[in-house]
Amino acid sequence: MTSTPDYGEKIPNNVDLRDDRRLQRALESWQPNFLSWWDSMGPSLPTRDVYLRTAVNVGREGWAHFGHVPMRDYRWGIFLADRDPARTIGFGEHKGEPPWQQVPGEYRSELRRLIVIQGDTEPASVEQQRNLGATAPSLYDLRNLFQVNVEEGRHLWAMVYLLHAHFGREGREEAEELLHRNSGSEDAPRILGAFNEETPDWLSFFMFTYFTDRDGKYQLGTLKESAFDPLSRTCEFMLKEEAHHMMVGTTGVDRVVERTAQLMAEHDTEEVAARGGIPLDVIQKYLNFHYSVSLDLFGGETSTNVANYYTAGLKGRWMEGRRRDDHRLGSDSIMVDALDEDGEIGQTEVAALVGLNTDLRRAYIADCEGGVKRWNRILSEAGLEPRLKLPHVAFNRKVGAFAGIEVAPDGERVSADEWNRRQGAWLPTDVDKTHVRSLMRPVHERGKIAAWIAPPRNGINGQPFDYEYVHLA
Ligand code: BYC
């Protein structure tokens, strides 16, 4: 159902772009703007070439090609998963009908909003990570950073394709705006909170790729269910690339914990800062921060937006096909986190439809528990007490039911004064950040690694750790 990928074109694609000259021209006129955004807001470290994986197909086998390429020549393209002719809409009031190949007029603005929000996060993360190359702990890590960056760039292309192909002039204007808003900008910030935070050091980068990219996995998973077939198919393929980003986060934090545990065992002390490592309590504070800002990305505990998206068929649930219910949820209910009348943290019962952000956030939380388990296992294996934890769901929230209150990581409600007094024990302080930043000295030599992190167990695509993953300029 999909044409053979057209890799030779100016814009590689498997959407028959050459048969739609207007669309092709529109995208070709956006392309130089994308490249000038990449030049000014993308990776700042000058490189000659990088050992990158490039998407060349969407098939199960061999969708990616590995090779050294100058990053600016990376073949950003448009790849949708193959169309399934038997697919029907899986939920909501259109359940059982054929999926839409065009945007229905009545859902135009909601679909555009979802696509714009998704699209906005992709370039935002590239902007946040822009200066990390200068302090990479190894060439292997440098390569992974750049892989994540070019793929986020491709994910922006994926959303821009949908905007250009299906939303006319408004879509083209939104595509321009995606390049004009910038992470952390006073005048034109990125839409969602976490994407305006800094990613100033590699511990933040690993936490971001663990916790925030994982929100991406869950949001893309719900958009993959969409009745709007082109959105569904593009998200399905994006999820394949996303898996690598999460591997970078998971194994990145693994390696920091492993090195810290080694230093603790070797010197029989908690005070590994003086030994060139990152203390466990600082790792915990970074975890607390990135987890809590990522929880905010799921929106409010109750939301009429999400109920409308679901009923209309625009955004489904995580693993919609595996749910054993009527996939319409008209009369179901769900317990969501809430503040009770006395201001105590508790739960309240609401219609399942308005509680769907909570449903998705819970799936995400369960997944995050997996990371904490593996990091604690690394501590146990080093003979240390397993002690890393996810903070309470109400901790440090700026969106939703707990936005207006202060809560300790263990879930205890505290006063504003107490929060101010104690937050330095819960979130990274300037001293912590300065220490972490002081460790961020570049190791750009082949086969070498910084002292605050353990080397990876495996290289990329079967290459050894000491492979020349990046040629610097
Ligand atoms: N910051 O009704 P509510 C990724 C707004 S990450 C600021 O509860 P809803 C990636 C909200 O817009 C995945 N504002 O929200 C990761 C609404 O505003 P309006 C990105 C926020 O709509 C790493 C109001 O508050 N994709 O891919 O149910 C690297 C009321 O909220 C925030 C998506 O998010 C916030 N955190 O849910 C690269 C998928 N949260 O309408 C990439 C598309 C909420 O009152 N987006 N607000 O003006 C959605 O599905 C939903 O819009 C949201 C919010 C889940 C974001």
**DSSP codes joined into one string, 4-26:** PPB-SSSS-BSS-GGG-HHHHHH
From residue 290, alpha-carbon distances to 128, 194, 249, 301, 319 in Å are 14, 8, 12, 19, 25
Q: If you compute the radius of gyration of the chain from its CA atoms, what whole number of angstroms results?
A: 23
pLDDT in tens, the chain (473 residues): 445 666 667 899 999 999 999 999 999 999 999 999 999 999 999 999 999 999 888 887 778 899 999 999 999 999 999 999 999 999 999 999 999 999 999 999 999 999 999 999 999 999 999 999 999 999 999 999 999 999 999 999 999 999 999 999 999 999 999 999 999 999 999 999 999 999 999 999 999 999 999 999 999 999 999 999 999 999 999 999 999 999 999 999 999 999 999 999 999 999 999 999 999 999 999 999 999 999 999 999 999 999 999 999 999 999 999 999 999 999 999 999 999 988 899 999 999 999 999 999 999 999 999 999 999 999 999 999 999 999 999 999 999 999 999 999 999 999 999 999 999 999 999 999 999 999 999 999 999 999 999 999 999 999 999 999 999 99
From residue 156, alpha-carbon distances to 63, 252, 306 in Å are 19, 25, 23
Q: What is the spatial distance between Cα 151 and Cα 144, in angstroms, rounded to a whole number?
A: 11
Ligand 1 contact via 228 beta carbon (within 6 Å): no
Q: What is the spatial distance between Cα 200 and Cα 44, in angstroms, rounded to a whole number?
A: 13
Protein residue with least CA distance to atom 23, ligand 1: 213
Residue 311's CB is within 10 A of a number of other CB atoms, namely: 16
Letter for the amino acid at 227?
A
Structure tokens at 324: 């054993």
Let me know: does 13 contact 79? Beta carbons within 8 Å.
yes
Let me know: does 153 contact 122? Beta carbons within 8 Å.
yes
From residue 348, alpha-carbon distances to 16, 301, 351, 355, 412 in Å are 50, 10, 10, 10, 18
Residue 322's CB is within 10 A of a number of other CB atoms, namely: 7
Ligand 1 contact via 241 beta carbon (within 6 Å): no
- Ligand 1 atom, smallest distance to 194 CA: 36
Distance 249 CA to ligand 1 centre (A): 22
Residue 274's CB is within 10 A of a number of other CB atoms, namely: 10
Ligand 1 contact via 239 beta carbon (within 6 Å): no
Q: Say which DSSP state 228 is in.
A: B
Protein residue with least CA distance to atom 50, ligand 1: 114
Predicted confidence at residue 58, as pLDDT, reads 85
Q: Please list, residue by residue across 121-132, b when 16 or more beta carbons sit within 10 angstroms of its beta carbon and e when fewer do.
A: bbbbbbbbbbeb
Structure tokens at 356: 């769907």
Protein residue with least CA distance to atom 4, ligand 1: 216
Protein residue with least CA distance to atom 2, ligand 1: 303
Ligand 1 contact via 248 beta carbon (within 6 Å): no
Non-local (6+) Cβ contacts of 22 within 8 A are none
Sign of the Cα torsion 327, 330, 334, 340 reads positive
Ligand 1 contact via 303 beta carbon (within 6 Å): yes
Distance 308 CA to ligand 1 centre (A): 14
- Ligand 1 atom, smallest distance to 193 CA: 1
Let me know: does 16 contact 81? Beta carbons within 8 Å.
no
Q: What is the spatial distance between Cα 53 and Cα 146, in angstroms, rounded to a whole number?
A: 10
pTM of the entire structure? 0.96
Protein residue with least CA distance to atom 40, ligand 1: 299
Distance 117 CA to ligand 1 centre (A): 7
Predicted confidence at residue 242, as pLDDT, reads 94
Q: How many residues does the chain have?
A: 473
Closest CA to 251 of 443, 453, 462: 453
Protein residue with least CA distance to atom 43, ligand 1: 114
Q: What is the spatial distance between Cα 216 and Cα 354, in angstroms, rounded to a whole number?
A: 21
Predicted confidence at residue 7, as pLDDT, reads 67
Closest CA to 30 of 167, 182, 177, 176: 176
User: Angle at CA 215, nearest 5°, toward 322 and 54?
Assistant: 95
- Ligand 1 atom, smallest distance to 356 CA: 28
Ligand 1 contact via 114 beta carbon (within 6 Å): yes
Distance 361 CA to ligand 1 centre (A): 12
Let me know: does 175 contact 164? Beta carbons within 8 Å.
yes
